């Protein structure tokens, strides 16, 4: 019997994009179910009763939650193609470390740039650039974070690229001027169909964040 | 050549205890280096320049940071004994989900109980009990979180047992009355030498937290 794979997701979610990229890398077909985050569906609440958040991968009726856990699950179930985590335990630990760092820092420093203004935003901008510079240093001269092959850390970070235009507009900065190697890496990732077909239009993300800023009372 | 294993740690750290329990389960000998967290050593800063936190496992000169990543690394390197993560990808995802839940919630709800007073503490207490009740529900009637065998989620949670006495004293609650099944689980874990030899004396933890409360200006 064929696998039944469903993804509960929201188009602009950097976390949801991770699952979509991993599934595309593995060539897994699935049913995409866009979720209304302002009015959560009974299915979402049933499948992720603890956090009530997307993305949720439902594989043959069983839910898997939390994006990095979903990506690891996908890597372990469909293991014969496009290995995302390296085989060596130390390299795996390093990949997990940087993916975890991205989870702990990047969304938050991004929010400090788009959801604030004035002095608060200036302080956020400093932190934002420092965080991305550290990631750029970690990338170094490698093609991808893990070396020559697109992998776990790339999947964790590349979705944010679709938010870069919004960061630039709201924080009045040039990502390419600040982070040339990271931008070159992002463009390299975009040559992969798994990434280019997943990442939404930057202008659409910018418009969404404009609405979110208004909702938060920033403008 | 024998492996050289060093652990940078602090005796009362629930995160450090996870690494110690995992190493004990695997029967790995190591050098324990107690760290002064008020005056961080050059070695700690060199080995964990990003977070500057304990625990750090140094295996043949190479550092691994972040406690759950360390436990997974230990499980993958010394894989022939006391498997901590299950083999089945879905069970692994579930184990990672609950360990991640513990990381996202338990330290923080605990701190809301020991680092506050008055109305703030009362609100924290409610959240604290809800969080632990959810964990108790997840445990259900199983021996351990993963079933019959001591595993990843048990390693992630059991260190907090050494802080229970302090929670009880500061929040004026009885963990055993609120969470009888969870306490029975904790006592079951304590029959394992890996746990009983790792967990510090609850009175000593209480004294440390009393000092931390004073430092934070709570009393």
* CB-based contact A101 B50, cutoff 8 Å: yes
Task: State how many domains chain B has.
Answer: 2
* CB-based contact A97 B69, cutoff 8 Å: yes
Full domain range(s) for residue A174: 89-216
Spatial contact of B74 and B7, defined as CB atoms under 8 Å apart? no
Q: How far is A31 from chain B (nearest CA, A)?
A: 19
Spatial contact of B85 and A117, defined as CB atoms under 8 Å apart? no
**Do residues B126 and B192 both lie within one domain?**
yes
**Do residues B98 and B193 both lie within one domain?**
yes
In the predicted model, what is the mean pLDDT of residues B33-61?
A: 97
Question: d(Cα A14, Cα B112) in Å, to the nearest integer?
Answer: 30
Question: d(Cα A30, Cα B152) in Å, to the nearest integer?
Answer: 30
* Whole-number pLDDT of residue B218: 87
In a domain, A195, yes or no: yes
* pLDDT (tens digit per residue) in B95-152: 999 999 999 999 999 999 999 999 999 999 999 999 999 999 999 999 999 999 999 9
For residue A178, what are its two tokens?
Answer: 């600040």
Question: d(Cα B114, Cα B125) in Å, to the nearest integer?
Answer: 9
β-strands A5-9, B56-59 pairing? unpaired
**Do residues A119 and A187 both lie within one domain?**
yes
pLDDT band at A2 (very low <50, low <70, confident <90, very high): confident
* CB-based contact B77 A65, cutoff 8 Å: no
A65 interaction partners in chain B (CB closer than 8 Å): 97
In a domain, B197, yes or no: yes
For residue B129, what are its two tokens?
Answer: 């009990």
Tracing tokens 């208004």 back to the chain, one arrives at: A214
Q: B28 at the A interface (CB within 8 A)?
A: no
The pair phi, psi for residue B198, each rounded to 5°, is -95, -45
* Whole-number pLDDT of residue B1: 58
Chain B segment 125-184 residues within 8 A of A by beta carbon are 134
In the predicted model, what is the mean pLDDT of residues B35-50?
A: 97
**Do residues A98 and A73 both lie within one domain?**
no
For residue B32, what are its two tokens?
Answer: 């324990």
Virtual torsion, Cα A202, A158, A64, B128, nearest 10 deg? -90
Percentage above 70 pLDDT, chain A: 100
* pLDDT (tens digit per residue) in A140-196: 999 999 999 999 999 999 999 999 999 999 999 999 999 999 999 999 999 999 999
In the predicted model, what is the mean pLDDT of residues A19-46?
A: 97
**Do residues B110 and B176 both lie within one domain?**
yes
* CB-based contact A97 B62, cutoff 8 Å: no
* H or E segment and range at residue A7: strand A5-9
**Do residues B182 and B103 both lie within one domain?**
yes
Following DSSP, what letter does each residue of A82-150 receive, concatenated? S--S-SSHHHHHHHHHHHHHHHHHHHHHHHHHHS--HHHHHHHHHHHHHHHHHHHHHHTT-SBTTBSS-
Residues 6+ apart with CB under 8 A from B218: B115, B116, B117
> Residue A56 forms beta bridges with which residues?
A8, A65
Percentage above 90 pLDDT, chain A: 97
* Whole-number pLDDT of residue B2: 78
Query: What ranges make up the beta strands (E) of chain B?
Result: 5-9, 31-34, 56-59, 62-65
**Do residues A72 and A131 both lie within one domain?**
no
Spatial contact of A35 and A8, defined as CB atoms under 8 Å apart? yes
- Chains A–B, number of C-beta pairs less than 8 Å apart: 52
Residue A134: closest C-alpha in chain B: B50
Question: d(Cα B154, Cα A172) in Å, to the nearest integer?
Answer: 47
**Do residues B57 and B37 both lie within one domain?**
yes
Tracing tokens 């993305």 back to the chain, one arrives at: A55
* B62 vs A62, A90, A101: nearest CB: A90
Return the sign of the alpha-carbon dihedral for residues B87, A91, B58, B14: negative
CATH of the domain at B25: 3.40.30.10
Q: B96 at the A interface (CB within 8 A)?
A: yes
Q: A72 at the B interface (CB within 8 A)?
A: yes
A72 interaction partners in chain B (CB closer than 8 Å): 92-93, 96
* Whole-number pLDDT of residue B219: 75
Following DSSP, what letter does each residue of B59-72 receive, concatenated? ETTEEEESHHHHHH
User: Is a pLDDT exceeding 80 seen at residue A219?
Assistant: no
Q: A92 at the B interface (CB within 8 A)?
A: yes
User: Is a pLDDT exceeding 70 seen at residue A1?
Assistant: no
Residue A58: closest C-alpha in chain B: B90
A93 interaction partners in chain B (CB closer than 8 Å): 64, 69-70, 72-73
Q: B101 at the A interface (CB within 8 A)?
A: yes
* H or E segment and range at residue B17: helix B14-26
**Do residues B103 and B202 both lie within one domain?**
yes
Question: d(Cα B72, Cα B64) in Å, to the nearest integer?
Answer: 10
* pLDDT (tens digit per residue) in A85-110: 999 999 999 999 999 999 999 999 99
Q: Comparing C-alpha atoms, which of B83, B95, B194, B101 is closest to residue B149? A: B83
Return the sign of the alpha-carbon dihedral for residues A60, B88, A76, A17: positive
* pLDDT (tens digit per residue) in B160-199: 999 999 999 999 999 999 999 999 999 999 999 999 999 9
**Do residues A95 and A197 both lie within one domain?**
yes
* B92 vs A62, A65, A76: nearest CB: A76
Tracing tokens 């690394």 back to the chain, one arrives at: B73
Q: B61 at the A interface (CB within 8 A)?
A: no
Q: B65 at the A interface (CB within 8 A)?
A: yes
* Whole-number pLDDT of residue A155: 98
In a domain, B83, yes or no: no
Percentage above 70 pLDDT, chain B: 100
**Do residues A173 and A203 both lie within one domain?**
yes
**Do residues B67 and B98 both lie within one domain?**
no
Residue B75: closest C-alpha in chain A: A89
Question: d(Cα B134, Cα B98) in Å, to the nearest integer?
Answer: 10
For residue A123, what are its two tokens?
Answer: 């302080």
Q: For residue B61, with 0-12 CB atoms within 10 Å meaning exposed, 13-18 middle and 19 or more buried, which class applies?
A: exposed
**Among B47, B77, B107, residue at a domain's last position:** B77
User: Is a pLDDT exceeding 90 seen at residue A131?
Assistant: yes
């Amino acid at each position: 019997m064929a696998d039944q794979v469903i993804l509960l997701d929201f188009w602009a979610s950097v976390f949801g994009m991770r699952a979509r990229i991993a599934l595309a890398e593995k060539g897994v077909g699935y049913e995409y179910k866009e979720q209304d985050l302002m009015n959560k569906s009974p299915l979402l609440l049933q499948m992720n009763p603890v956090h009530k958040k997307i993305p949720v991968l439902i594989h043959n009726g069983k839910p898997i939650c939390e994006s990095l856990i979903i990506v690891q699950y996908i890597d372990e179930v469909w293991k014969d193609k496009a290995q995302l985590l390296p085989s060596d335990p130390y390299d795996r630990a390093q990949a997990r470390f940087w993916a975890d760092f991205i989870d702990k820092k990047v969304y938050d420093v991004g929010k400090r740039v788009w959801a604030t203004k004035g002095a608060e935003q200036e302080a956020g901008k400093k932190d934002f650039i420092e965080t991305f510079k550290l990631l750029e240093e970690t990338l170094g001269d490698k093609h991808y974070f893990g070396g020559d092959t697109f992998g776990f850390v790339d999947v964790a970070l590349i979705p944010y690229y679709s938010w870069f235009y919004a960061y630039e507009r709201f924080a009045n900065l040039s990502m390419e001027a600040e982070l040339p190697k990271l931008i070159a890496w992002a463009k390299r990732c975009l040559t992969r169909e798994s990434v280019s077909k997943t990442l939404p239009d930057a202008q659409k993300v910018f418009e969404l964040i404009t609405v979110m800023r208004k909702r938060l009372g920033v403008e």
